Each structure stands twice: as C-alpha cells, then as structure tokens.
Structure 1
Amino acid sequence: MWPLIGLCVVALFIVWITHWTYKWRNPSCNGKLPPGSMGLPLIGETLELFIPGKSFDVPPFIKKRMKRYGPLFRTSLAGRPIVVSSDPEFNHFVFQQEGKLVQLWYMDSFAKLIGQDDTATATGYVHKYLRNLVLSHFGLETLKEKLLPKVEQMVHQSLHNWSTKESVEVKHATADMVFDLTAKNLFGFEGEKSLVNMSQKFTNFLQGLMSFPLNIPGTTFHRCLKNQKEALKIMKDMLLERRDSPVKQQEDFLDHVIEDMKTEKFLTVDFVVYMMFGLLLASFETISSTLTLAIILLTDHPAVVQELREENEAILRAKENPDSGITWKEYKSMTFTHHVINESLRIASVAPGILRKVIKDIHINGYTIPEGWTLMVVPSAIQLNPNTYEDPLAFNPWRWKDLGANLTAKNFIPFGGGMRSCAGADFSKVLMALFLHVLVTKYSWTKIKGGDVARTPALAFRNGFHIKVTEIKK
C-alpha cells in the first residue's frame, strides 16, 4: 500500500513540475507573444546575459537573439518576463507613451539600490518638479551663467594632479573628478576633505546594477547594499545638519530642496536622500565611462587628436585675453569636439538597457507585449547598428558632419528619450567638451597599460586604462 501511495505522490509531483515548467515557458497572453525563450524556471536566461563580450560591440546575448528572432524578442531575466527591443521606430513610440502604456522601472536589485518606490517611478507633478529642479541647477541657463567656469576650473585642477603622478587609471580618476564636481554642486560635498571615498562606494554600487537580488553575505548585491547604507547615512546626516542650521550659506541644490520641503509633502528626508543618490549615480558613471572610452579611442587615433587640438588651439589664439576662461560662445563653436563627444557616446552606449514596465497591453507588428511585463530598449543595439551607421565599430567623428537630425532622433539615445530623457544631458556634454579642450591644449599623454573594453552587459574596462599625463611646456 505505502509503495503505491509513494508512487502516486512522485507521479503527481512530476505532473505538477511538468505543468509548471510548461506554463513558465509558455506564458499566458491575450494575443501572440514576440518570439524567444523564457530559459530555465526562475532564473530564466540571466546567466547567459552576463557572459561578457570581447569588445564594445552589442552584448553576445542580445546579438545572438537579434539574429535568431529579429529586433523584438522575449526572454526572462532575474525572474522577470522581458521583451527586448532594438527597433528604433518602436522604441521612439514607447518613449512617447510614458504614463500611458509604460512607466519607468528598474530590475529589482537596482530598484532597491536607488529607492525606486520613493523616486524612480515618480510621475505627473512630482516628476515635473524633479526635472525642473535639476534643470534649474544643471540646465543650460545655469551652465551659461554659473557652472561653465566651475567645470573648467575642476578640469584644470584634475588634469594638473594627474600630471604629477607616474600614472593614473583613467576610469577611477575621471569618476573621482565627475563625482566631486557633481556632489559639490548638489550638496557642497568636498571630496578632498572627506575621510570617506564616496566615489569608490558609488563605483561599487554599479556592480549590482543588474545582479540577481540575493542579499546573502559574499554576493555582489549584498556588498552593494552595505555600501549603499553607508553612503546614504552620510548624505542623510548632511541633509539633517543643513536643514537644522540657522544659517543658509550654500545656496545650492540641497538648500533649494530644503526650502521646498516646507511646502511639498512628498519631499521627505528619505525621498531627498535617494533623489541625490540617483542623480550622483547617473551623472558620474555615464560621464566617466564615456570619457574613459574617448581617451582610449583617441590614443589609438592620432589624426582625431590632431584635428581636435587644432580646433581648440584656434579658440585660444582668438582670445583677447589668453588667460580667460572658455565662454559659452566658444563652447558652442567647438564643432569637431562635439563630433568626438557624439561618437564616443554612440560607441559607449553606457546604459546596458533602458527599462519600462508595461502598464497596458502593447500591440506591435502582430505581437502583444502583456501588461506587467518589462520592456528593455538596448542602446548599443541601436547605436551600433550597421544599417544606420557605416562600419559602426569604427571610431569616426567625421561621420557626424553628414548625419542629419532626422536620423539621429531615433537612432542616437545616449540620454534616453521622451519625457524621461536625462535632464543633465547638457551638463554632461559641457563637462566632456571642457575636459577634452584642456586635455589636448595643455597636456599630452601616453599609454602605460590596459585599455581592453568589453560589455558585461554594461561597458567594462577589464584591466583598467593607465596613462602618463605630461604638461605641454610652451
């Protein structure tokens, strides 16, 4: 009797497992799902996603499936059903549907790191407030009137410090520079006076960007949460100290927010801390990675450096006062410099994916993307598309002379798209332009070691990039 019962239990378990696996691999849908595979139960195809490529080309995981299924395919990552898109027209449509068909979303691990529930999914009035707040402190008008000389001064100071060392690792050095500049303008943080290397802590956060959300000691995600807790405490202490101080001297981003906390109920202490955390994370990683890649590419393309140097030296020669800083008019005149920046942004494609949560069924080309699924737009697949950019892996800033706005509107998305496009885009481009200006007119550099670039699926500098910077004596 008991062996028979045991046999029945085993049989039922096998039937249940088979049924559950079938449902996992064939999700329900009010229509036809895009082609693809859901991978293994629970973990999906997550492990394959993290197989690194050997260059900055489209990640192997994405490239392989694009070839097999086309520009739209389904998969499962970290337990989530996802549709991946490399279709520029569809992506452009999706970016216009914020709050209608989709909303901002992050992988579970990254959502916890940046406090998604508090800040990342902000819509309507809150999102408008945040965007206007960032633009008022980092937008065009502030850049013209206040930030331009501060950025140039920081670049001069950083490159001078680099030149006093036998070698610098470019990614770490640029990350420190960008972090210190952004943090100082956000809440008066001065990295050189701090006992804590906040820039390094933020670098550690990024290792958990798309990691499996397993909070167990020894895992990447656990280390990220630990670093996050320390950094958030530092920022929270600074916020509370500033809020309770009777003297308002900084007149910076944080002072602005503290004043608004008196009237805006959604501006809680935790909300503000996570908001600053997110702004710092977004700015310093995008800019430092792009600048690092730009220097690697410039090192291998002396003709680009030569034209870059000629353009920027011409600007200096035309100055009435050679010691005066760069003006906004001079910045806007850096045509080839902007070509170099655009080409670096195109190749870098720093964000491994731009994620949106589907809040209403989306119908596209006979397929249905169900409500509750995640949509992932892959910038590298768009910006390295050979049908759009001839020889897409080649570093060719001159290509931008002939690329029209109609083409780039849907095929160049380094700062996202739609109402969620990065409000700090102009700040990023100004910082990169001034960095290149000072670098090529005041310094030369030689490669010491490193420079291997890959996607993991984020942009990664495997063994760093070490250079020796030398001041040009004139």
Structure 2
Amino acid sequence: MLYPLLCLIVLFLSIVLWIYHWKNPRCNGKLSPGSMGLPVVGESFQLFTLQYGSLFKSSLVDRQIVVSTDTDVNRFIFQQKGKLVQSWYMDSFDDIVGKENILSSHGFLHKCLRNLILNLFGSESLKEKHVSEMEELTSKHVGLWSCQQPSMIYDFTVRKLFGCNNEKLRGCNSAFLDGLISFPLNIPGTAYWKCLQGCNKVMRVIKIMSEERRETLTKKQDKDFLDVVLEEMNKAGTILSEQTALDLLFALPFAAFESASSAVVLALQYLQSNPLALAEQTQEHETILRERETKGSGITWKEYKSMTLTHMVSLMSNLQQTIRLGNIVTAIFRKVVKDIEIKDYKIPAGWIILACTPAVHLNPTKYEDPLTFNPCMKTNKQGRELNAGSKFFMGFGSGVRLCAGAEFVKLQISIFLHHFCTNYRWTVMKEGKAVRQPGLVFSDGFHVQILNKKFI
C-alpha cells in the first residue's frame, strides 16, 4: 500500500516540477515579459491576441519563442548573417515543402539557391527576357476572365520554370494552403494529411519531368529554369542535391502565385474603394501610352522603371499601400544560434524569434491612420520613406534574406494594373472576405464585372 502511494507522490511532484520549469525557463539573464501558457500547447491558440508589449516571451506548439513587434529588434534580427540567428520554420512546414527548401536552408546552400532564383526572377533576367511575354500573357488572361477563371500568375511562373503548363501541377493549390502551417496530424481527413497527399502527387510529377528532361538537356537551346537547375546539378563539386532541386522546383510556383495573386486582388479592392487614386493611376498609365514612340507596341523595361521613379508615382504608392495593408506574410521565424542581448533582455540560444511585420505596418505610432488605404502616404510619421527592406516597411522581408522574387512580384502587378486600367473598366459584384490560412485568401472569391473600354 505504501509503495503505490509513494509512486503517486513522486509522479505528482514530477509534474509540478515540470510545469514550474515550463513556466520559468532557464536563462542566464533577464527574459522578456510574457507567459509560457500551458505545457506543450503553450499559447498556440491565443498568441496573436496577447498584449505584453512589443517584445514578449511565449510558447508555440512546444517551442519557446519570443514575439517581436519592435521595429528595431526586427531590423537587427534580419540584418544577421547566420551568426546569431538562422531561418527556421515549424517541422510540419518542412515536411510539406521539403527538408531542403530554400527558406530553411542556410549559408552557402542558401546563397546558391538564391542565385538560381535571381537568374530567373532577378532584374536582369526580367529586363532581358520576360517583360513582353508577361504582358502578352496578362492581356490574354484578362480577356478570358469573362468566361473562365485562368490563373495568370501561376501559368506564367510554371511556364518559366518548366517550359510548359502541366495541368497536374495545379491539384495541390488549395490543400497546400490549408495545411501549410497546421497541426501535424497525419490522419486521413485532416488538413495536414490532405496537404501531404497533394504535395506528394505534385512532387512525383516534377520528378518525372526532371528525369525526362535529363535525356534532352544537351539538345536544348532555349532553356527554362528546370534546365538551369539540372545543369547546376551536373557540375563538378556542386552542393545541389537532387532532393534540394526538387524541393526548390516544388516551392517556387506556390511562392510566386500566392504572393502576387493576393496582392493583385487587394490592389483592385483598394483602388475600387478610392476613386481618386484609381483616376490618377489611370491617367498616368494613359499618358505612357500617348508618349510611346511606337504605337501599339508593348510595355518596355524603361517604361516599367519609370513607374518606380517619377512618371508613375501613384502606381508605386498604390502598390506599397497594398503590400503594407495586405501583409501577405504575417510572420517571419528565426532560430537563435547564440544568446542575444537586446532591449535589456536576453534571448537564449535555441529559442525561436517570431518577427511580426504586420504589427509594424499597422502601428498607429508609426503611421497616420494605419488601417486606411492612402496612396498619398510617401513616408511614415517619422518622415522615413517606405522603401522595401527598411525597418518601417518589410513587405518583402529585410536584410540578407530579402525576398528574391520581389522584383518579379512588382513587375507582374505593375503590368497587370497598366493593362487593366488602360483597357478595362470594372465593377465589383461581390467582395470576398479576406481570411488567413495562414496565407491571405478570399474564401468566397472576389467577383468583378469587366467591360472593355472599346465597347463602351
């Protein structure tokens, strides 16, 4: 009788001690304020409703984290080159996107993958190869919107990656988003399980395409991204493994599609609600058409760059405001490699930092009336310009891991708005409700009636 009682006492004390250590994690310094929540679960369900200041500790799915909404802390974290922090995502994310995906890679491997992407989506490649093709595809797809729902951005991205538009690659879109950052319950019927099933199918298609392409690689002159990746794999001493290449080819279509497509819909929504901004932007785009030397020709790189400098101030203002309010990426994770002392607090090695960029973009102390779409806003309250990568505007991230596809997204949206504003008028028939899963999606769609100006 005494032995079972002693076992119960030991078990009870062990649980109490475990909970105590969970609530009071060890730290050779002063931790930021906050609560660790319940053991294991932590504060996963109420994390973004907590209010402990701009820097606080918490826990997310059995991970000790520090949440930062502080502009200086976020800027400091993003400027690190792997010495104090490194990129990190939840295990379920890596299971879906691939263990060797570019977001979770570090050091020389990340640099190699980033350079490969910039060869496709960087400024030089866009300037020399993709502007006219992007405009042609945009014109074609917008013309079809009245009778079907084409995926303009997805189709262009897949064509640039694989040289064709394989319909089998589409099947994973919705399931991918639903399960991307979900509880890793690999049980039939769950979002995580559906996502894994869809991703496995897409990965098999990409692998088959890669194997078939290897047989004709040396014969091709007009190379797409798949050719470039395979050539890189064949180089002596390459660090690019087959699995890394497959993970990269799998992730890029979704990354390009989700960021640009959501921003396009938001831009239309915001412009429709601001007639003055729409009128100014339309007038500026029509001025470009009138001043074009060759009538009927397509948009040039020079015209696009003029949009970002002087000629099209309202376009880039509209684009910046769309990205600032839309907050396509809600959080960026970093894992602490060495103890960090900042703002009188210590963040221990092994902890996760969750940099919450929307808290900066929507902060009333940083922006005047931050929830309002205001294309006239060129600076924040402190007079700082809203440049990409600054600590006040992180729509494309910041620092050494600034989004490699940022220029591609801006070009895609700019060409779309240029074509749309000069050739069409539209009426919103049904505004979809924007929700995050975790990416920004419109659950009921965004329904517009489009009229060609030629027939009005």
Q: What TM-score does the superposition give when structure 2 sets the normalisation length?
A: 0.92
Indicate the residue corresponding to 1:256 in structure 2. Answer: 228
| Paired amino acid for 2:104 | T
Are the aligned partners of 2:100 and 2:247 in contact in 1 as well (CA < 8 Å)?
no
Match of 2:156 among 161, 177, 181: 181
Partner of 2:9: 11
Is it true that 1:204 corresponds to 2:202 in the alignment?
A: no
- How does 1:353-364 map onto structure 2 within 5 Å? 353-364=331-342
Q: Which residue of 2 aligns with 1:380?
A: 358
Alpha-carbon distance between aligned partners in 1 of 2:131 and 2:439, rounded to the nearest angstrom: 30
Q: More deviation in 228-237 or 132-141?
A: 132-141
Please tell me the residue identity of whatever aligns with 2:184. Answer: P
Query: Amino acid of the residue matched to residue 8 of structure 2?
Result: V
- Residue deviations 1:324-383, cap 9 Å, x none? 001112112222111111110111111121111111111112211111111111111111
Measure the CA separation in 1 of the matches of 2:330 and 2:91: 15
Instruction: Provide the C-alpha distance between the structure 2 equivalents of 1:327 and 1:109, rounded to a whole number of angstroms.
Output: 42
What corresponds to 1:243 in structure 2?
214
1:314 aligns with 2:272: no
Unaligned runs of 5+ in 2: none
Using the TM superposition, give the Cα deviation of residue 118 of structure 1 relative to its aligned residue in structure 2, in angstroms: 5.4
Distance 1:208 1:76 in 2: 21
Q: CA deviation at 1:458?
A: 4.1
1:434 and 2:412 are equivalent in the alignment: no
2:198: which partner in 1? 227
**What is the 5 A alignment of 1:107-146?**
107-117=90-100, 119-146=102-129
Cα distance change, pair 452–252 in 1 and its aligned pair in 2 (3 A): same
Deviations 1:66-120 (A, max 9, x none): xx31111111112211111111111111111121000111111112112134543
Partner Cα separation in structure 2 for residue 233 and residue 321 of structure 1:
46
Aligned to 1:465: 446
Q: Is the 8 A contact 1:448 1:468 kept in 2?
A: yes
What is the percent sequence identity of the aligned residues?
43
Residue 156 of structure 1, CA deviation = 0.5
Q: 1:316–1:407: structure 2 CA closer, same or farther, 3 Å change rule?
A: closer
1:183-229 CA distance string (max 9 Å, x none): 111121315xx3x2x34513321222321122111211111111110
Distance 1:23 1:301 in 2: 53
Give the residue type in structure 2 aligned to 1:364: I
Matching residue of 1:57: none
SS of the residue aligned with 2:333? strand
**Deviation of 1:249 (Å):** 4.4
Q: Could you say which residue in structure 2 is the equivalent of 1:52?
A: none
2:144 partner letter: N
Q: Is the 8 A contact 1:236 1:269 kept in 2?
A: no
Question: Whole-Å Cα distance in 2 between the matches of residues 42 and 124 of structure 1?
Answer: 31
The whole-number CA distance in structure 1 between the counterparts of 2:22 and 2:30 is 16
Shift in Å, 1:457: 5.3
Displacement of 1:160 in angstroms is: 0.5
C-alpha displacement of 1:401: 6.9
Cα distance in 2 between the residues matched to 1:83 and 1:444: 47
Q: Name the counterpart of 1:56.
A: none
C-alpha distance in structure 2 between counterparts of 1:12 and 1:226, whole Å? 44
Q: Does 1:31 align with 2:4?
A: no
In 1, Cα distance between the equivalents of 2:352 and 2:363? 23
Equivalents in 2 of 1:114, 1:454: separation in Å?
22
Query: Which residue is equivalent to 1:100?
Result: 83
Cα distance in 2 between the residues matched to 1:116 and 1:397: 40
Residue 349 (str. 1) matches residue 322 (str. 2): no
Paired residue for 2:147? 164
Alpha-carbon contact 1:453-1:462 (below 8 Å) kept:
yes
SS of residue paired to 1:74:
strand
| Two-structure CA RMSD over aligned residues (Å) | 2.0
Paired residue for 1:287? 260
Question: Residues 46 and 77 of structure 1 are in contact (CA less than 8 Å); yes or no, is this contact kept in structure 2?
Answer: yes
Which aligned pairs between 1:383-402 and structure 2 lie closer than 5 A?
A: 383-400=361-378
Aligned to 2:137: 154
**CA distance in structure 1 between the aligned counterparts of 2:225 and 2:122, rounded to whole angstroms:** 12
> Do the aligned residues in 1 keep the contact of 2:173 with 2:254 (CA within 8 Å)?
yes
1 CA distance for matches of 2:175 and 2:160? 22
| Structure 1 residue 406: Cα displacement | 7.6
Query: In the TM superposition, what are the counterparts of 1:30-109 in structure 2 within 5 Å?
Result: 30-49=28-47, 61=48, 64-65=49-50, 68-109=51-92
Structure 2 counterpart SS, 1:47: coil
SS in structure 2 of the partner of residue 159 of structure 1: helix
Q: Secondary structure at the match of 1:163?
A: coil
Q: Distance in 1 between matches of 2:134 and 2:289?
A: 17
Per-residue deviation, residues 167-192 of structure 1 (Å, max 9, x unmatched): x5xxxx5xx2211111111121315x
1:122-159 alpha-carbon deviations (Å, 9 max, x no partner): 33322222222221221111111111111111111110
Give the alignment partner of residue 371 of structure 1, picking from 349, 370, 388: 349
Higher relative contact order (CA 8 A, sep 6+): 1
CA gap of 1:314–1:399, structure 2 versus 1, over 3 A, is: same
Does the 8 Å contact 2:178/2:437 carry over to 1?
no
| Residues 200 and 466 of structure 1, relative CA distance in 2, 3 Å threshold | farther
From 417, 423, 437, the equivalent of 2:404 is: 423
**Deviation of 1:47 (Å):** 2.1
